[in-house]
Amino acid sequence: MAHPGDLSALAGLIAAGTIRAGDVRAVIGKTEGNGGLNDFTRGFFTQSLMLLLARHTGEAPEALAARIPCVLSGGTEGALSPHYMVFAVARDRGGASGLALGSAFSPPTQAGEIGRVAQIEAVSAAVRAAMADAGIARAEDVALVQVKAPCALAPGPEARSGDPRMLMALSRAAAAFGAGIAIGDIAPEAGTEAALLRDVQHFSSRVSISSGIEVTCNEVVVIGRAAGWTPGITAGVAPMRDLLDLDGVIAACRAAGLEASPAVADRSRVLGVIAKGEPDKAGHIRGARHTMLGDTDIDAQRHLRGALGAIVAAVTGDGQVFVSGGAEHQGPPGGGLVCIFARE
């Protein structure tokens, strides 16, 4: 991507007939903004995407945005490169079993519902709907749940927090709980408002959440294995116990059928990478103090994305990695998760 609105690569694939615009089901990408509340590169990309698809499908951009999740994370610090992954489903798909994709949208989420049981339940229902959309019958067959959750730039008194940054974290936490409950990684009775951001022992290593003001509901993408989908693509997921967990990255590669020791041997098979992480809240990594949380010049999540991105990219051999900070209840505390998409 030459800039946040650069859709020329997708436009070229559509023009060449490689991808049909009507087959696009979801987009996940990184833009070069700051990744914060005032990161408008995400909205710029979404607008550009929907306008492109509208020209080729005849649908209104608003209608496309209401059915195609566009999950964006801002911030391409360090070795990270702006990019986007397009998930398209061919109409003539078919096979015994393969990687499946489903999507769903929750009802519009009000500021007063963010970080509350209402959001947990809404995300859980949307994840189950996305599983049904993909034909994934068993929760254990889900490889990854990706959610874009809403936030409020200027939350009113009805909001759980008047701090927009805290509300963003609560939104990620509630969405993580909802998704984790839906796929059986978190017990339903654990999904309370008091548990969010506190009971860190409740997490899912198959859930990735981003939050932003550019969406008004919870947009859900579920990826896993199901019957009736053409084989050829696989997804490998593994937790990272901390920011330096190189073995976790390698485990995700191997789960996707890629040999890595530590670098991936056949990089041409790597189709996309998603990673979640967070600075350890205790201020230490393996006994050594880190300063990410106390830096007033650079946001802790920007530190995190630069460091985690370099570690993952060194293994996959490409800076086009979807690295997202804010891993509340997503992977082990102080750690995170990695998902690798690869050709079989």
pLDDT of the residue at 63: 98
Residues 172 and 217 in one domain: yes
pLDDT of the residue at 91: 72
Residues 109 and 218 in one domain: yes
Give the residue numbers spanning the domain of 212: 97-223
Residues 214 and 177 in one domain: yes
Residues 237 and 303 in one domain: yes
Is there a domain that residue 2 lies in?
no
Is there a domain that residue 3 lies in?
no
The pLDDT-based confidence of 186 (bands split at 50, 70, 90) is very high
327 assigned ligand-binding residue: yes
Is the peptide bond preceding residue 262 cis, with omega within 30 degrees of 0?
yes
Q: Is the pLDDT of residue 36 over 90?
A: no
Question: How far is 193 from 123, CA to CA, in rounded Å?
Answer: 14
Residues 208 and 111 in one domain: yes
Residues 166 and 203 in one domain: yes
The pLDDT-based confidence of 93 (bands split at 50, 70, 90) is low
Residues 103 and 218 in one domain: yes
pLDDT of the residue at 154: 82
Residue 262 sits in a domain of what CATH number?
3.30.1330.160
**Beta strand pairing status for 336-343 and 270-277?**
antiparallel
The pLDDT-based confidence of 71 (bands split at 50, 70, 90) is very high
Is there a domain that residue 179 lies in?
yes
pTM of the model: 0.95
Residues 189 and 243 in one domain: no
Q: Is the pLDDT of residue 88 over 80?
A: yes
Section 5-30 average pLDDT: 98
Query: Per-residue pLDDT tens for 209-248?
Result: 999 999 999 999 999 999 999 999 999 999 999 999 999 9
Q: Is the pLDDT of residue 322 over 90?
A: yes
Residue 8 — left, alpha, or beta (φ > 0 → left; ψ -120 to 50 → alpha)? Answer: alpha
Catalytic residues: 148, 210
25 assigned ligand-binding residue: no
Residue 129 sits in a domain of what CATH number?
3.30.1330.180
Residue 64 sits in a domain of what CATH number?
3.30.1330.170
Which residues 6+ apart lie within 8 Å of 43 measured at CB? 214
Section 167-183 average pLDDT: 98
Query: Which of these three, 59, 88, 117, is where a domain ends?
Result: 88
Residues 83 and 62 in one domain: yes
Q: SS3 for 332?
A: coil
- The β-bridge partners of 31 are 74
Q: Is the pLDDT of residue 69 over 70?
A: yes
Query: Which of these three, 167, 199, 223, is where a domain ends?
Result: 223
Number of domains in the chain: 3
Query: Per-residue pLDDT tens for 155-170?
Result: 888 999 989 999 999 9
Query: Which of these three, 64, 88, 112, is where a domain ends?
Result: 88
Is there a domain that residue 329 lies in?
yes
172 assigned ligand-binding residue: yes
Residues 148 and 58 in one domain: no
**H or E stretch covering 42:** helix 41-57
Is there a domain that residue 53 lies in?
yes
DSSP class of 234: E
Query: Per-residue pLDDT tens for 250-291?
Result: 999 999 999 999 999 999 999 999 999 999 999 999 999 999
Q: Is the pLDDT of residue 94 over 80?
A: no
Is there a domain that residue 1 lies in?
no
Which residues 6+ apart lie within 8 Å of 336 measured at CB? 239, 240, 243, 275, 276, 277, 278, 308, 327, 330
Is there a domain that residue 146 lies in?
yes
Residues 81 and 135 in one domain: no
182 assigned ligand-binding residue: no
343 assigned ligand-binding residue: no
Residues 105 and 219 in one domain: yes
Mean of all residue pLDDT scores within the chain: 96
Section 138-157 average pLDDT: 94
